């Protein structure tokens, strides 16, 4: 599962949306202690005890689009795991159970809307196999659902534009099983430490395509204009990874080492599928080789759907992605979706082939998938790209940890959905990176190979990962796993260095709360530069306060603690301005360059600032060049001083750098370089176009009419939001018409931000435009699938509450809202 939301960056625009709602848990729980002497109630969340072994699942399903029902027949083959069993409990949420039989004989059962209890008239031993057949109707829209930061809803089965009334949205059906939501559309044992083979018979109108796990083995024409597709998955996998999708998709076929691949897109984006997923075969080769374990499934499909409730999902052999991947070739000039694609692909090994036995061990799934993003960037785009994205991800973790530090492996939590956070993902990846740094690449990747080979098609806990590495290295690694997996937090270090009497003295103090966090054992390298000579010293920090001394004949130019930059921790290590400069020009790591640029704001030496900026402007990595441009704008440095260096950046290979160069030129060089801004409006890059628009707006210059006409159908977030800002300051009638007309076709994050600008435009608008906007906002607030878009529309209505009837509409929207996140947000307004 990939939950990190889309981060879109242009000059002055940073977009990051998150949400959080709890959901009902199906995990086995045990009360460890009651409130006693002020001790808080603790609930232990281990793996669910298995009494039955689910061997095979066969589903025959069809759909009622109007009612949003699924009609199904589930046939489950099971046998007792070890002990004799006289009863069976199945998960089945929000269904009508029509009939149930065991080994062909009708059997009594009890059902409470969540679970089916079956009591047999005999005991079955582990030598017996039984077959349970259930005819049922799943009603996913008639039961209460919850959600989380990672997964907006746990409905399980979703009908998109079911009645076909929205001309701007395709009709689709798709499923989302993690964590325990697939039992919302078929009866099963819905726990992560269960697995079975699978056969899916999906009956649909002949105009639709279907997708499921495994291979499509047969298509049967029915007499009523329908067709039944049969998908077979003959490799066992967990029920939460079962998937199904139905719709009118454009499918692009590909291949990797004889394994069929396919990219499923909406028809309007079908031609871009091969470009969006173009690196998939190379990724499969890369991951197969570094893991020493070839891609384990018989095919791999990747499908993009509408109104998805998360970022992406690693369904076995068929990953599903949210609609933000519906992009064209121009978008791919500015960015790519490799990170999320690599994330879900790595899950095919870590999560699907080898699965965490309980949600407490979720980091065994998500930590590896998140680390795959680093590995792919390092291999494909270089060390700087890998380090930069890792820095961003770690900062997200630090923000969360500052508020709520948690164990990485958590056997105590309120709800399993709470596990999907920046600890399981971002910290999980960072801990793996530290382990790789400590063990070395050969031992690390051989250990992963052992882990996969020994536990393929099994469920695991974190101890088995540790033992896989110990098997390779012969070293007891409890110290590493204990401090990083079973304690909250991370080291906070005060590092100081001083040179005197021919000795460099380095002190390291661990300042994190020792009541809540351990004294960490931290193997690191210290790099010491003297002229062009580099000396690197390994040390192990394992006390609250330690001192290290290094004899040397002359004062070092700079001292770099944790020179590998692998440590997940907050390091306070002050340096002089000259030391930062030396670090920037001599140490090759991106961390050192970024750290120096961040420190420029406190520099007093103008000459040194100038030297560093001139180096940064021509740095080989685009983000360093961008950081330099940001500094120039933040500090309002006059263009004339760096004009010669900036002009070449207008032709930079990075569209991001080009957009920032335009923004800097626009501050006091708009008229002088007007031709460059005119060209920017016709650039192939969306963010360069958006940057050009923003400079026309900032300098109060009208955009060419021909340009505006050409943008009327563009839905790129950056362009739309910059146009919204432009029209915000236009007073003519066309500016109001633009907002009113532009609402059509927008969705998701773009709609969220657009509505905010639209609402501001309406503050002093004529009544005719305000009345028209009320109808538009009300439609979004009541019906849009994106909960943040609904929230934005609700806020817009609040701003218009002086109009007649708005208060009644707001009250009705609140009373009919079922999403707990929105209910809480509405209460705060």
Segments making up each domain of the chain, as ranges: 8-21+353-485, 51-347, 492-574, 730-829
Q: Is 23 a residue whose pLDDT tops 90?
A: no
Architecture of domain 51-347: Sandwich (2.60)
User: Mean pLDDT score of the chain, rounded to an integer?
Assistant: 93
Q: Is 53 a residue whose pLDDT tops 60?
A: yes
Look up residue 29 and give its two tokens: 């729980």
Q: Is 36 a residue whose pLDDT tops 60?
A: no
For the entire predicted model, the pTM comes to 0.94
**Which sign, positive or negative, has the C-alpha torsion 711, 717, 720, 726?**
negative
Q: Is 540 a residue whose pLDDT tops 90?
A: yes
Q: Is 24 a residue whose pLDDT tops 70?
A: no
The CATH number of domain 492-574 is 2.60.40.1840: yes
Q: Is 6 a residue whose pLDDT tops 60?
A: no
- Report the candidate in 25, 138, 119, 10 with the shortest Cα–Cα distance to residue 73: 138
CATH topology of domain 8-21+353-485: Neutral Protease; domain 2 (1.10.390)
| Cβ-based neighbour number of residue 680 at 10 Å | 26
**Which sign, positive or negative, has the C-alpha torsion 399, 400, 406, 408?**
negative
Orientation of helix 622-634 relative to helix 655-668, angle to 10° = 20
Confidence (pLDDT) at 41: 56
Rounded percentage of the chain residues whose pLDDT exceeds 90? 88
Taking the C-alpha atoms of residue 508 and residue 510, their distance in angstroms, rounded to an integer, is 7
Question: Which secondary-structure segment (H or E) carries 320?
Answer: strand 318-321
The torsion of the CA quartet 472, 474, 479, 480, rounded to 10 degrees, works out to: -20
779-816 pLDDT, tens digit each: 999 989 888 999 999 999 999 999 999 999 999 999 99
- Cβ distance 160 to 173 under 8 Å? yes
- Report the candidate in 616, 631, 626, 565 with the shortest Cα–Cα distance to residue 592: 565
Taking the C-alpha atoms of residue 362 and residue 381, their distance in angstroms, rounded to an integer, is 28
Look up residue 554 and give its two tokens: 């002359």
Confidence (pLDDT) at 84: 98
Look up residue 355 and give its two tokens: 């699965």
Q: Is residue 108 packed enough to be buried (19+ CB in 10 Å), middle (13-18) or exposed (0-12)? A: exposed
Which residue bears the tokens 């697995």? 195
State the pairing for strand pair 130-138/115-124: unpaired
The yes-or-no answer to whether 51-347 and 492-574 have a common fold is yes
Q: Is 308 a residue whose pLDDT tops 50?
A: yes
143-179 pLDDT, tens digit each: 988 777 777 789 999 999 999 999 989 999 999 999 9
Confidence (pLDDT) at 78: 98
Q: Rounded to 5 degrees, what angle do the CA atoms 382, 388, 390 make?
A: 100
Residue 129 or 26, more confident: 129
Question: Confidence band (pLDDT; 50, 70, 90) for 3?
Answer: low
392-422 pLDDT, tens digit each: 999 999 999 999 999 999 999 889 999 999 9
Taking the C-alpha atoms of residue 100 and residue 53, their distance in angstroms, rounded to an integer, is 19
The torsion of the CA quartet 204, 208, 213, 215, rounded to 10 degrees, works out to: 100
Taking the C-alpha atoms of residue 210 and residue 245, their distance in angstroms, rounded to an integer, is 6
Confidence (pLDDT) at 361: 98
- Report the candidate in 801, 756, 791, 793 with the shortest Cα–Cα distance to residue 776: 793
The torsion of the CA quartet 446, 451, 456, 460, rounded to 10 degrees, works out to: -170
617-635 pLDDT, tens digit each: 999 999 999 999 999 999 9
Question: Measuring CA to CA, how many Å separate 801 from each of 777, 792, 807, 824?
Answer: 12, 14, 6, 20
């Amino acid at each position: 599962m990939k939950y990190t939301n889309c981060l879109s960056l242009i000059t002055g625009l940073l977009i990051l949306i998150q949400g959080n709602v709890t959901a009902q848990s199906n995990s086995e729980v045990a009360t460890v202690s009651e409130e006693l002497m002020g001790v808080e109630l603790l609930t232990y969340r281990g793996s669910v005890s298995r009494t039955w072994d689910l061997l095979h699942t066969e589903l025959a399903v069809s759909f009622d689009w109007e009612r949003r029902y699924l009609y199904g027949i589930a046939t489950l083959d099971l046998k007792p795991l070890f002990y004799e069993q006289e009863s069976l409990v199945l998960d089945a949420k929000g269904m009508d159970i029509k009939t149930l039989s065991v080994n062909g004989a009708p059997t009594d059962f009890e059902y409470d809307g969540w679970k089916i209890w079956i009591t047999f008239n005999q005991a079955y031993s582990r030598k017996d196999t039984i077959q349970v057949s259930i005819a049922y109707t799943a009603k996913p829209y008639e039961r209460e659902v919850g959600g989380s930061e990672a997964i907006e809803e746990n409905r399980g089965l979703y009908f998109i534009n079911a009645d076909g009334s929205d001309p701007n949205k395709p009709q689709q059906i798709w499923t989302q099983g993690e964590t325990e939501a697939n039992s919302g559309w078929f009866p099963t044992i819905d726990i992560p430490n269960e697995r079975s083979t699978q056969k899916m018979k999906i009956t649909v109108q002949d105009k639709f395509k279907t997708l499921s796990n495994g291979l499509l083995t047969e298509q049967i024409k029915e007499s009523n204009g329908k067709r039944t597709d049969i998908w077979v998955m003959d490799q066992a996998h967990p029920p939460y990874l079962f998937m199904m999708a139905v719709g009118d998709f454009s499918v692009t076929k590909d291949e990797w080492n004889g394994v069929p691949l396919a990219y499923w897109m909406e028809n309007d984006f079908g031609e871009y599928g091969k470009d969006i997923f173009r690196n998939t075969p190379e990724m499969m080769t890369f991951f197969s080789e570094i893991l020493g374990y070839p891609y384990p499934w018989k095919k791999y499909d990747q499908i993009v759907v509408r109104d998805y409730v998360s970022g992406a999902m690693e369904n076995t052999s068929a990953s599903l992605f949210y609609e933000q991947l519906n992009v064209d070739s121009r978008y791919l000039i500015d960015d790519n979706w490799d990170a999320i694609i690599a994330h879900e692909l790595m899950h095919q090994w870590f999560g699907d082939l080898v699965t965490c036995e309980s949600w407490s061990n979720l980091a065994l799934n998500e930590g590896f998938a998140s680390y795959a993003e680093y590995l792919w960037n390092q291999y494909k785009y270089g060390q700087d790209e890998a380090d930069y994205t890792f820095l961003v991800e770690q900062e997200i973790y630090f923000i969360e940890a500052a508020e709520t530090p948690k164990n990485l492996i958590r056997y105590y939590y309120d709800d399993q959905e709470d596990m999907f956070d920046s600890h399981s993902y971002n910290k999980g990846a960072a801990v793996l990176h530290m382990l790789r740094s400590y063990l070395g690449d050969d031992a690390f990747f051989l250990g992963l190979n052992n882990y996969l080979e020994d536990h393929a098609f099994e469920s695991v806990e974190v101890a088995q990962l540790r033992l896989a590495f110990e098997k390779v290295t012969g070293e007891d690694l409890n110290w590493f796993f204990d401090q990083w997996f079973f304690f909250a937090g991370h080291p906070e270090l005060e590092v100081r260095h001083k040179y005197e009497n021919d000795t460099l003295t380095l002190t390291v103090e661990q300042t994190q709360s020792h009541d809540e966090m351990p004294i960490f054992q931290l193997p690191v390298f210290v790099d010491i530069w003297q002229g062009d000579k580099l000396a690197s010293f390994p040390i192990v920090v394992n006390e609250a306060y330690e001192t290290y001394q290094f004899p040397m004949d002359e004062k070092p130019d700079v001292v770099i603690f944790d020179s590998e930059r692998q440590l997940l921790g907050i390091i306070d290590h002050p340096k002089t301005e000259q030391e930062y400069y030396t670090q920037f020009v001599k140490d090759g790591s991106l961390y050192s360059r970024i750290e120096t640029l961040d420190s420029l704001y406190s520099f007093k030496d103008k000459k040194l600032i100038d030297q560093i900026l001139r180096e940064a402007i021509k740095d080989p990595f685009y983000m360093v060049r961008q950081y330099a441009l940001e500094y120039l704008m933040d500090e309002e440095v006059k263009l004339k001083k760096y004009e010669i260096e900036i002009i070449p950046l207008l032709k930079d290979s990075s569209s991001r750098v080009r957009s920032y160069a335009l923004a800097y030129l626009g501050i006091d060089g708009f008229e002088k370089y007007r031709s460059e801004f005119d060209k920017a409006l016709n650039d192939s890059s969306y963010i360069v176009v958006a940057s050009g628009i923003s400079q026309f707006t900032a300098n109060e210059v009208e955009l060419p009419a021909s340009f505006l006409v050409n943008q009327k159908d563009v839905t790129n977030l950056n362009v739309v939001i910059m146009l919204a800002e432009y029209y915000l300051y236009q007073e003519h009638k066309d500016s109001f018409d633009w907002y009113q007309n532009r609402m059509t076709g927008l969705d998701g994050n773009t709609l969220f931000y657009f509505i905010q600008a639209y609402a501001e435009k309406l503050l002093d608008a004529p009544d005719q435009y305000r009345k028209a906007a009320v109808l538009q906002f009300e439609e979004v607030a009541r019906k849009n699938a994106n909960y943040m878009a609904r929230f934005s529309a609700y806020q817009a209505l609040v701003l218009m509450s002086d109009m007649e009837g708005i208060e009644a509409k707001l009250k009705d929207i609140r009373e009919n809202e079922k999403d707990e996140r929105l209910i809480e947000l509405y209460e705060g307004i």
